[in-house]
Amino acid sequence: MKKLGFLLIALLISIDLMAQNQSYGVVTNQSSIVYSAKHLLHSWKGVNRNVLGIAVVDQQKQQIEQLAIAAKVSEFDSKNSNRDAHALEVLEALSYPTVKFYTTAIDLKQSSSIIEGELTFHGQTKTIALQLDRSFNKEGLRISGNFAVIPSQYQIPLPSFLSVVIEDLLEVSFELVLQPKD
């Protein structure tokens, strides 16, 4: 009888712990990721408006327990089809179709901080630090930030034009809106 009592208590504690977590999904039509790149002759931007993502939020602690963001590399649009097609070639999009970011333990009581996470790009995973701004209320979660990516560190050959390669730097910024999932 005692055993049963303990088991019930443990069960209730577990259920209570799980009840505090709520999943949030990225609202694609309100979210975007933008990269900026430079060549000797000009610079350009590519925008992805089809970002996918999930945040597991501990409501009581006001903390994002896990954040997983993914975007297809073929969904970046720089308003130049030839350039986008060339980008997919160097990124080997058939083998590595997505760019992913994963992080844990983001305190939502702070509105801004530098966090660390894992960026998987071109099949290579690296730990990166980035500035993350966030706001959290009943309606949802809004996060934004920026970071730099050095393509050569991800084994990406730099595309060239007129025998001049692009700058080995991509500046990435993002704006994501997440709402509770059913």
Partner 1 sequence: MKKLATLILIFTVCWSGVFAQDQEELFAQLELETSQTPLLPKRMIFTQRILWGENGLMRASKKFELSKESREQELKIRRQMLKAHQLIGYATLAGMVAQGVIGGKLYNGRYDLKDTHETIGNLTTATYFTGAALALFAPPPLINKKVKGFSSTKLHKTMATIHMSAMIATNLLAEEEKSAHRAAAYTLFGSYAVAVLSFKF
Tokens 């980008």 correspond to: 87
Tokens 């009888």 correspond to: 1
Q: What are the angstrom distances between the C-alpha of 155 and each of 48, 56, 72, 90?
A: 22, 31, 18, 10
Taking residues 116 to 145 in sequence order and writing x for each that binds partner 1 by CB under 8 A, - otherwise, the string is: ------------------------------
Taking the CA atoms of 32, 38, 39 and 43 in sequence, report the sign of the dihedral they define: positive
When asked if residue 169 is in the footprint of partner 1 (CB under 8 A), the reply is no
Q: Least distance in Å: CB of 11 to partner 1?
A: 7
Closer residue to partner 1 in complex, CB, 3/109: 3
Taking residues 78 to 117 in sequence order and writing x for each that binds partner 1 by CB under 8 A, - otherwise, the string is: -xxxxxxxx-xx--xxxx-xx-x-x---------------
Per the CB < 8 A criterion, the answer to whether 165 and 159 are in contact is yes
Q: Where are the extended beta strands (E) located within the chain? A: 21-26, 32-38, 43-48, 52-58, 63-72, 98-107, 112-121, 124-136, 141-149, 160-161, 164-165, 170-180
Taking residues 2 to 41 in sequence order and writing x for each that binds partner 1 by CB under 8 A, - otherwise, the string is: xx--xx--xx-xx--xx--x-----------------x-x
Given 28, 30, 49, 77, the residue binding partner 1 (CB under 8 A): 77
Closest by CA to 26, choosing from 78, 64, 74, 63, is 64
Q: Distance between CA 110 and CA 87 in Å, rounded?
A: 37
Q: Least distance in Å: CB of 21 to partner 1?
A: 8
Closest by CA to 31, choosing from 179, 149, 180, 182, is 179
Window of 1-9, 106-114, 126-134, 135-143 that interacts with partner 1 by CB under 8 A:
1-9
Q: Least distance in Å: CB of 124 to partner 1?
A: 16
Binding site for partner 1 (CB under 8 A): 2-3, 6-7, 10-11, 13-14, 17-18, 21, 39, 41-42, 52-54, 56, 66, 68, 70, 72, 74, 77, 79-86, 88-89, 92-95, 97-98, 100, 102, 159-162, 166
